[in-house]
Each structure stands twice: as structure tokens, then as C-alpha cells.
Amino acid sequence: MKIGEKIRRLRVQNSLTQEELADRCELTKGFISQVERDLTSPSIATLMDILEGLGTNLRDFFNEIEDEKIVFSKDDAFVAENGDLKYTLKWIIPNAQKNIMEPILIEIEPGGRSKEDSPHEGEEFGYVINGSIFIHIGSEKYKVRKGESFYYKANANHYISNAGKTKTTIIWVSTPPSF
């Protein structure tokens, strides 16, 4: 992290000149200029004064929060195939397992099915894009067709299977992440 560059960005965001920031911190404009160009390093006490003048503090200043990614492309997806169960699973949001919910795109060949998931805290939601599926929840079985959705609490063993003669495509969201 370049401290001077970050101080300059904060100063500009706050619509302050170097002289205005210097006045707030009882420093000289020349010193602020040198700090912003990384020609000198302020003491911790002076840095705290500068940050206070910028409306922030040490913790927030040094907390490197990455910009949240909002839009994901097909290049971001991670794909896994299971030949035995005849499905392809695409994690369409990278690293979603660290989030509260985990969306996937699953394609199941005729006669195929997903892995069976044990009961867990949370819920499952899905939308059938193509084909039709059976949802197996405990000893119950429900048919879901193209254009229909499903939603259930994951308090019993559960999985989905292809109910038709063509490949099915489903958007499936689990909370908490379990895929």
C-alpha cells in the first residue's frame, strides 16, 4: 500500500486542498505534499492527525477491502462433471461457498441425478430452465417442469433427478453453501 497515494485520494474525495488539510492537522502544505508523494513518512501520531482531518482512522485506512464484484461472466464459472451420475455442475459465482448462499447451474442427462445431500440448516431454491426434474426429499418425490421453481427447507436427505428424455438445466441455490 502506498500511504501517500491513499492520503491524496482521500483528500481529493473530501474536496480539500493540501493547504486546507495541512491547516486542519496543524502541519505545513509542504509536509502534506511530501507525504502524498511518499518522499517522507509521518509518525503514527501525525498520521492519526492527518486521517482525523480526512474523516477516517487508522483501522479503516489500513483495512484493504476489495471492491465487491457484482457481475460475473461465463469465464468466471468453474465446471465439474460427474460421469457416473450424469451431471455437469457449474459454480456460476466464484468462491460463493464463503457467502450466505451458493448458486449453481446444473445440467443433468436423461437417467442422471445430483449427489444426495444430507439434512442441513438452511434452504434450497431452484428454477428449471429446460426439461423436467424430480426433487427427492426424504421419502417424498415432486415433479418440476420447465419454467417452474422449487423451494424447501433442507431438513431431510435430498437430491434431484432428470425426469425426462432430454437434458435438464436448473439454476439451484443453496443456503448455506453446500455444493
pLDDT in tens, 13-39: 989 999 999 999 999 999 999 999 999
In this prediction the pTM is 0.63
Q: What is the dihedral of CA 49, 52, 58, 64, to 10 degrees?
A: -130
Q: Give residue 111's region: left, alpha or beta (phi > 0; psi -120 to 50).
A: left
For the stretch 74-95, what's the b/e string if a residue is b when 16 or more beta carbons lie within 10 angstroms of its beta carbon? Answer: eeeeeeeeeeebbbbbbbbbee
| Distance separating alpha carbons of residues 11 and 169, to the nearest angstrom | 51
- Mean confidence (pLDDT) of the chain: 92
More confident residue, 17 or 95: 17
Give the pLDDT score at 94: 82
Where residue 177 falls among pLDDT bands split at 50, 70, 90? confident
CA-to-CA distance for 112 and 44, rounded, in angstroms?
A: 62
CB 90, CB 179: distance < 8 Å? no
Q: Assign 154 to helix, strand or coil.
A: coil
| Across 54-77, average pLDDT | 84
